[in-house]
Amino acid sequence: MGLPERDDDAGQAERIADVLARIRSELEDIAGRIDRNQAAIARSTWAAGAADADYVKAMQDADLSAQRIAGVADFLRALGENTHPHWRIDTSLATGTLKLTELIRSIGTAGIAMQAKDEDAAGDVDLF
């Protein structure tokens, strides 16, 4: 049995499981980047920073953040696996709140025809 046809009122409605899967994937990517960046920073700075309690706390906080994000991703995976296949949601309004083009592509409304947004509007990268 296939998915029901979309009603005209459903607009851009898509399966909730698909939306959760996109968000989960993005969170897994973020957690992985935090882990990789933390490891690179530690390799370069541990000898000088290990004696500084604030440095150690910041490194532990980064590790905990990656673990928490990965945990939320696992939670979303479980939700997605247990959603009814007929449950649908229109994410177009939520997609409109996203500022980063890459984020729009990764979690926004599936198949959205979009023009690149001004990435500068999201803020500058702070270099220390």
DSSP 3-state of 21 = helix
Quick count: other Cβ atoms within 10 Å of Cβ 89? 16
Report yes or no on 73 lying in a domain: yes
Output the average pLDDT for the chain.
85
Domain that holds residue 90: 13-116
User: Does residue 55 lie in a domain region?
Assistant: yes
How many structural domains does the chain have?
1
Look at residue 12 in the predicted model and tell me its pLDDT: 82
What pLDDT score was predicted for residue 9?
47
Does residue 7 lie within any of the structural domains?
no
| Residue 52 included in any domain | yes
What is residue 109's predicted lDDT score, i.e. its pLDDT? 85
61 burial type by CB count under 10 A (0-12 exposed, 13-18 middle, 19+ buried): exposed
Q: Residue 123 domain-assigned? A: no
The residue-averaged pLDDT of 73-94 equals: 95
More confident residue, 31 or 128: 31
| Structure letter (DSSP) for residue 127 | P
Mean pLDDT of 59-74: 97
Phi, psi of 127 (to 5 degrees): -105, 135
pLDDT higher than 60, residue 123: no
b or e along 31-50 (b: 16 or more beta carbons within 10 Å of the residue's beta carbon)?
beebbeebeeebeeeeeebe
Q: Would you tell me how many other CB atoms lie within 10 Å of the CB of residue 56?
A: 13
- Residue 125 scores a pLDDT above 70: no
Residue 1 is predicted with a pLDDT of 31
Residue 110 resides in a domain:
yes
Mean pLDDT of 105-111: 86
Return d(Cα 3, Cα 116) in angstroms, integer: 32
Each residue of 2-20: b (16+ CB within 10 Å) or e? Answer: eeeeeeeeeebbbbbbebb
